Amino acid sequence: MVGMLGRGVGDIGVANFYITALEGRREFTDYSTPFGQEESCFLLRKEAPSPRWQSLALPFTGDTWLGILVVVSLMGPIFYCLASFSTTRKESLAEHSLVFTSLYTIGVTLRVSRPFLPNHPSLQVFLVFLWLYVIIVTVAYCANLTAFLTVERVPEGITSLQELYNSPLLVYGQGPFFGDNMAEAKNQYVKGLADRFFAMSNIEEIYKKLISGYGVYISSRNHLVYTGSSYASSVGVPTLRIIPECFQPFNVAIGLQSHSPLKRYFDTAVLWLTEGGFLHHWFDETLLQARIYRMSEKETEEEDKNIKGNAKEKEFSGIQKNIALTVEHIQGTFMILGIGCGISYLAFIIECSAVTLLRK
């Protein structure tokens, strides 16, 4: 387009024209009054949601889980020592082993009523405060767990130019313009990304690369917002996202021939449109139309089945407000049960083997 304006083939160039002298553009083209500001950003595939089974551990932080593990480990021995050294009154729990008292306190931690109650006052006070601790911790865990089971968590992923530079992703763009911009950038990470830049003319091929996770697409922010909203699921859930950190802000204008007599007319018209807020209004309308078009394009039988089976998308589209927990939501509990059964079976085999060896 710049070449056509420079050769006199075209009179007006309407696009996201960055006002720049890169590659001698000022010698071949002129620009109208700027109608907006843009910056160069990167678009990439949205990260896959975290596995649902991780939801069981998410209500508490790692430090909290470590504290709970320490408490569970110490309560059994402390309870056993208090029961063993009770002299003022006979303590029935003192007749049992350390393993029994450890299981006793673990049962209390799981809010299970115990068949044996201590007789000694010190043990009774200890047990009261242990129950108070257990009630607070378990209620907090259960209340927080519901939110983590129903809300889909997405990893943060790449958020900065440095992280993008350290990743193996390639950079794709339409034409060489953005590759040349990156090569001349002062930011060392952007300059390093220029070595991984590939110019492609077919936008559909670029998006195939993005969806496959091979690379990122560099363009102006508004262009990426528009195309990113177009490439969404049938209910508007984004499949692509823009990396928050961008670079090289530019003014954007309409391209004209050098010394064009049309410039003063376009300057006046662009100023009217900008001050009236029409550009922002039209851009918002364009985004809405793009979403409607993409949704109508994807209304297939397969998408309908996905909508029925995906509670997250139902909530997003407003079809269903209350979410019923599926097997996917609570898959972690089934995993715990399976692991427990496996450990129990292993302990059973070891026990049988030990008995057999003793008999021999």
Do the beta carbons of residue 30 and residue 259 sit within 8 Å?
yes
pLDDT band at 169 (very low <50, low <70, confident <90, very high): very high
For residue 253, list its beta bridge partners: 17
| Other CB atoms within 10 A of residue 216 CB | 26
Within 10 angstroms of residue 106's Cβ, the number of other Cβ atoms is: 14
Which domains occur in the chain, in start order? 2-51+156-276 (3.40.190.10), 59-150 (1.10.287), 308-345 (no CATH)
Exposed / middle / buried, residue 122 (Cβ in 10 Å: 0-12, 13-18, 19+):
middle
Q: What number is the average pLDDT over the span 289-302?
A: 65
Q: Which pLDDT score, from 0 to 100, does residue 306 have?
A: 55
pLDDT per residue over 314-340, tens digit each? 444 444 455 666 666 667 666 776 787
271: Cα separation from own chain's centroid: 40
Give the strand pairing for 170-174 and 197-200. Answer: parallel
Residue 248: pLDDT over 70: yes
List, for residues 118-147, the tens digit of each pLDDT value.
777 777 788 888 888 888 888 888 888 877
Q: Using a cut of 0.85, tell me whether the model's pTM lies above it.
A: no
Give the C-alpha separation, 156 to 177, whole Å. Answer: 29
Contacts of 272 (CB under 8 A, 6+ apart): none
Burial readout 58-79 (b: 16 or more C-beta within 10 A, e: otherwise): bbbeeeeeeeeeebeeebbeeb
Strands 197-200, 36-45: pairing is unpaired
- Helix, strand, coil shares of the chain as percentages rounded to 5? 60, 15, 30
Is residue 94's pLDDT more than 60? Answer: no
pLDDT at 166: 93
**From CA 174, how far away is CA 181, in angstroms rounded?**
13
User: Mean of the pLDDT values across residues 298-317?
Assistant: 50
Q: Per-residue pLDDT averaged across 221-231, rounded?
A: 80
The mean-pLDDT minimum among 168-177, 280-289, 301-310 falls in: 301-310
Largest CA distance in the chain: 108
